[in-house]
Structure 1
Amino acid sequence: MSYLDHAATTPMLPAALDTYLRVAKTVGNASSLHTSGRAARRIVEESREQIAAALGAKPSEVIFTGSGTEADNLATKGLFWSRRAQGRHRLVTSGIEHHAVADPITWLECHEEARVTRLNVDEHARIDVDQLADLLLHHREEVALISCMWANNEVGTVQPIAQIVELADDIPVHSDAVQAVGAVPVNFAEAGLTALTLSAHKLGGPVGVGALLLKRDASCTPILHGGGQEREVRSGTLDTAGIASFATAVATAVENLASESRRLEELRDDLIARVRQAVPTAILNGDPENRLPGNAHFSFPGCEGDALLMLLDAAGIECATGSACTAGVAQPSHVLLAMGVGEDQTRSSLRFSLGHTSTPEDVSALVKALPAAVERARSAGLS
């Protein structure tokens, strides 16, 4: 199989897998006071330091969670609840957020009386910073939190985070950087964010581990209550092996970022050019220049994306119609709709995402299988 769905999950890096297997053979709860517990705690704290150093954060700012989704929920709900006590009821986000951010914010809107402003995006999925500036000019004192993703998980557009943070000034800003960490330069301190989400399995680590980088002076109401771990912001027994593997993956991905990004950009550009040559009607979605190095997102007019995906899968090509979290849901992509893409074109879209295991042979296999798959999918749509 040619695996072109790294945005959904990435195969574990050899070094991260080695770390996981080594640490998983040991025993010890990192909250226990005996020898095994202290050994586990040492591994956790060394991992915390490793992640912090790789991402320009302080070790005390790294809060471990069970996933990126949990970290997003902690940021959006926790920061909103803390600021709501100061009379701030407005949440500002974009119309193209991953459901891990969009759904908690919708929940807060429905159940916690949050007033939500969803910023528009242009045809390339770039967030409208002018709309944000106008909103803050008139409603700054109402805003509890701004949450905007660093890079879009579907079409790969990298967002103007620096501009958003500058406009926010003293308003907390959270960014879901799950797709960005390890793909583009990310520095928490330089970005000026209050909170940032990352996830292990998107950059070569294990599934089931994430982190929220959270400023020390940020007030964040917990969403889990129990043992009071992680600054009493996120209770729960820590996954020592998963955290150690996560740290190895982050450090490896950041260390190799420059060379790997160049390699993936060349591979992605070759994929885009050859897909356009093989299927001239294909439409590239997202920012043509400022996009993730491994992302190529196309619409194939006349095709149903799900049908085309299964035809490619039968030919040994694995890709996606959008976020893996919504796979199988018979609804058009909210990201493409926000970009102004028509519903028919939205339903005809596929995402090809490259990663550390991707090769030129994967691209060649896709290009070889794609024309026949598109022809069959169009024929099925007409019948």
Structure 2
Amino acid sequence: MSDEIYLDASATEPVSSGVIEAMTPFLADAFGNPASVHQPGRTAARALAAAREAFAAGLGGKSGDVVFTSGGTESDNLAIKGIAMARMKRMGLCPAFHAGDETDGYQSGDGGSHGVGEDGQDAESRRPRIVISAVEHPAVSQAADWLGRWFGFEVVRVPVDRQAHIDLEALEDELAGRKGERTTLVSVMLANNEVGTIEPVSQIVEIAHAHHVPVHVDAVQAAGRIPIRFRDWDIDALAVSGHKFATPKGLGALMLRNRVPIEPLISGGGQEHGLRSGTQNVAGAVALAVAIGEANERMRDEWDAMVASRNKLIDAVRRVVPAAELTGDPEARLPGHASFVFPGVTGEALLVDLDAHGISCSSGSACAMGRHEVPPTLMAMGFDEDAAKSALRMSFARPLTGDQIDRVAYALEGSYTRLTQR
């Protein structure tokens, strides 16, 4: 409906008309398999190569850095599992096998193993580690936990402060000495999906590289929203998801430096540098290239208006609900992201009431909606359970008008009043 206000861009965006127009020829006419040697195949291969180069440039990388995937979740899993397992092998670290175990031969639970191996070395001293922040998306945190469950990795979660910034001193401590020698990977997000905080990635990379540990960055919420300079920041791997910046769902990429050892998770014909087998989606690659170009251009043109809209929305919410507390960093945050906790109500009740008034927002990560979970990000930031359950996120990809902000504030004031008086 034309009078609806969509404030859930962090969950997904509509596909842009420019992306649809660019994709269409490769869905109907130029439909060849890019691996085929005939003319239709060569046409598809040229389009794929051009899309790869344009997409890489849009994120500050080179064409050889790009591995096209099905989205952010696959990209995160490929980076975390693939790099960690490859590094574990090259570093001579040991998965937590159980000698004489009659089940599956792997350590259960947290993967802990404290015995002495056949070579006489303390197993714990050779146990692989992976370091993530305490506020990572489930695509990262659960991939890390999988390494712990099946290969005995020690999964370290570095704490964050009240604004969701990673504790750099704690990160340094976790990478110092023998612990750092067993660490296969550091994985952090660039921008937080729930509270919008932008992490100091360049500092994180500097700390990790000083200890010879590669860094994977989950940039799913950041791509198309803030400038990304993959090579300038010296990042080793970076994941993005296309539907966050106006492509169809099911498209994404992993930017990967060739200096980083990695094991593929999908076996087959060896496409995508041997790291993601399967016939490439040429139309999808074209969509990603066009969409990141459009998003970057829009970012340059509308940055000031987006920041102004965000700040006006934050001020309006605080004016009508003085008890609301902004979550995340008030300045180092995504330009189209405002998030709060609302004492005395639940975020889910608020969003349902707002939805009835034509305003679409979110009470947390879209990937956790419907499961009635306490938002772990807010808990890691130091909020109690009741406050965490009252979280509401409003995110947008285009500047808001004054009338839209006023309407949101009016509806929110009414919803909060009704819910607190029940």
- The alpha-carbon distance between structure 1 residues 360 and 21, as it changes in their structure 2 partners (threshold 3 A), is farther
Q: 1:350 to 1:301 in 2, by over 3 A?
A: same
Task: Note the 1:334-373 alignment, pairs <5 A.
Answer: 334-356=376-398, 358-373=400-415
In structure 2, C-alpha distance between the alignment counterparts of 1:218 and 1:250, rounded to whole Å: 25
Shift of the 37–360 alpha-carbon distance from structure 1 to 2, 3 Å rule, reads: farther
* DSSP 3-state at the match of 2:340: strand
**Percentage of matched positions with identical amino acids:** 42
Q: Does 1:317 align with 2:359?
A: yes
Tell me how far apart the structure 2 counterparts of residues 22 and 5 of structure 1 sit (CA, whole Å). Answer: 30
Over 3 Å counting, the alpha-carbon distance change for 1:203 and 1:282 in structure 2 is same
1:233-270 per-residue CA deviation (whole Å, 9 max, x = no partner) reads 11112111111011101111123323322211110101
- The 1-side partners of 2:44 and 2:323 are apart by 55
Aligned to 2:340: 298
The answer (yes or no) to whether the contact 1:2–1:318 under 8 Å persists in 2 is: yes
Q: Cα offset for 1:361?
A: 3.6
Instruction: Decide which of 30, 47, 50 is 2:51's aligned counterpart.
Output: 47
Amino acid in structure 2 at the alignment position of 1:152: N
**What is the number of residues matched between the two proteins?**
380
What is the deviation of 1:357? 7.0
Once residues 266 and 25 of structure 1 are traced to their aligned partners in structure 2, the CA distance between those partners, rounded to angstroms, is 42
Structure 2: gaps spanning 5 or more residues: 94-127
Tell me the distance in 1 between the aligned counterparts of 2:404 and 2:291: 23
Partner of 1:10: 13
- RMSD of the alignment, in Å? 1.2
**How much has 1:324 moved relative to structure 2?**
0.6
1:62: which partner in 2?
66
Q: Secondary structure at the match of 1:368?
A: helix
Aligned to 1:129: 168
Gaps of 5+ in 1: none
Alpha-carbon distance in structure 2 between the residues aligned to 1:28 and 1:161? 40
Q: Write the deviation string for residues 304-327 of structure 1: whole angstroms up to 9, x where unpaired.
A: 111111100000000001111000
- Give the AA of the match of 2:411: A
Q: Does 1:77 align with 2:119?
A: no
Query: Aligned with 1:256: secondary structure?
Result: helix
Question: Who is 2:113 aligned against?
Answer: none
Which position in structure 1 is the counterpart of 2:98?
none
Q: Which residue pairs with 2:419 in the alignment?
A: 377
Shift of 1:299: 0.8
> Which of the numbers 270, 273, 282 marks the counterpart of 2:324?
282
Q: Which residue of the partner structure matches residue 289 of structure 2?
A: 247
* SS of equivalent residue, structure 2 residue 344: coil
User: How does the TM-score come out when normalised to structure 2?
Assistant: 0.88
Paired residue for 2:118?
A: none
Aligned residues of 1:87 and 1:142 also touching (Cα < 8 A): no
Q: TM-score if structure 1 supplies the norm length?
A: 0.97
3-state secondary structure, aligned to 1:188: coil
Match of 1:217 in 2: 259
2:150 match = 111
What residue is the counterpart of 1:87 in the other structure?
92
- Partner residue, 2:102: none
Where 1:190 maps in the other structure, the secondary structure is coil
Structure with bigger gyration radius: 2
8 Å CA contact retained: 1:79, 1:221: yes
Aligned equivalent of 2:27: 24
Query: What one-letter code is carried by the residue in structure 1 that aligns with 2:133?
Result: S
1:276-316 deviations in Å (ceiling 9; x for gaps): 11111111000111111011001111111111111000000
Aligned AA (2:9): H
Is residue 154 of structure 1 aligned with residue 157 of structure 2?
no
Shift of 1:165: 0.6
Letter paired with 1:231: H
Aligned equivalent of 1:164: 204
Tell me, yes or no, if structure 1 residue 98 matches structure 2 residue 140. no
Asked whether the equivalents of residues 306 and 399 of structure 2 are also in contact (C-alpha less than 8 Å), the reply is no
* Distance across 2 between alignment mates of 1:23 and 1:363: 40
Pairing of 1:220-235 with structure 2 (within 5 A)? 220-235=262-277
**How far off its partner does 1:376 sit?**
2.1
- For residues 75 and 340 of structure 1, the distance between their equivalents in structure 2, rounded to whole angstroms, comes to 29
- Of residues 32, 35, 51, the one that matches 2:39 is 35
Partner letter of residue 9 of structure 1? T
Cα deviation, residue 358, structure 1? 4.6
User: SS state of the match for residue 148, structure 1?
Assistant: strand
In structure 2, how many angstroms separate the alpha carbons of the residues matched to 1:361 and 1:22? 39
Q: 1-side partners of 2:373 and 2:141: how far apart? A: 16
- Correspondent of 2:279 among 237, 248, 262: 237
C-alpha distance after superposition, 1:77-124 (max 9, x if no partner): 000000010234110000100111111111111111111110000000
Q: Please give the alpha-carbon distance, in whole angstroms, between the structure 1 residues aligned to 2:75 and 2:407.
A: 37
Which residue identity does 2:85 align to in structure 1? W
CA distance in 1, matches of 2:257, 2:352: 44
AA in 1 matched with 2:254: L
Q: What is the CA deviation profile of residues 332-361 of structure 1, one whole-angstrom value per residue up to 9, with x for unaligned ones?
A: 100000000011011111000010375444
CA contact (8 A) 1:2 1:365 kept: no
For residues 375 and 416 of structure 2, the distance between their equivalents in structure 1, rounded to whole angstroms, comes to 20
Shift of 1:20: 2.0
